[in-house]
Amino acid sequence: MIPLDAINLYLPGAEEELRRAVRVAEKDTGLKITCLVVHAFFWFAADMAEEMNIPWVAYWSAGTCSLAAHFYTDLIRQKTGMSFPNIKVFIEQQHLI
C-alpha cells in the first residue's frame, strides 16, 4: 500500500470521529467545548469550530522541513511531474532548502 492510499483510508472517518469525540467529551464532563486546539493536518476542524462558533487553534507538531514539503507540494509535483525518485536532489538543485 502506498502512503497516499493509507491516508485516503484514514481521512474519511477522521472528521466524524473528531465530531464524536467532542460530543462525548461534552456529555461526559457536562462542559461545553469553547476552543478546538487541533493539529493543522485535520483542516476540517476549522469548519467544526465555525459551526460551533468557537475559535480554532491549529498547531504543527512536525519539523519545519515537513511543513516546507507541504507548503511546496504543488511546486514539487509540477517540477517533477508527480514522480519523486530523487526528490532530495531535486530540491537541493532548485535551492528550495
Other beta carbons less than 10 A from residue 80's beta carbon: 14
Output Rg (C-alpha) for the chain, integer angstroms.
18
Q: DSSP string of 56-70?
A: EEEE--S-HHHHHHH
pLDDT tens digits, the chain, 97 residues: what are they? Answer: 556 676 677 777 889 999 999 999 999 999 999 999 998 888 899 999 999 999 999 987 777 777 777 778 778 777 776 655 555 665 666 655 4
Other beta carbons less than 10 A from residue 85's beta carbon: 7
Alpha carbons 16 and 18: distance in angstroms, whole number: 5
Alpha carbons 64 and 67: distance in angstroms, whole number: 5
pLDDT at 56: 95
- Asked if 87 contacts 76 with a C-beta cutoff of 8 angstroms, the reply is yes
Alpha carbons 87 and 56: distance in angstroms, whole number: 34
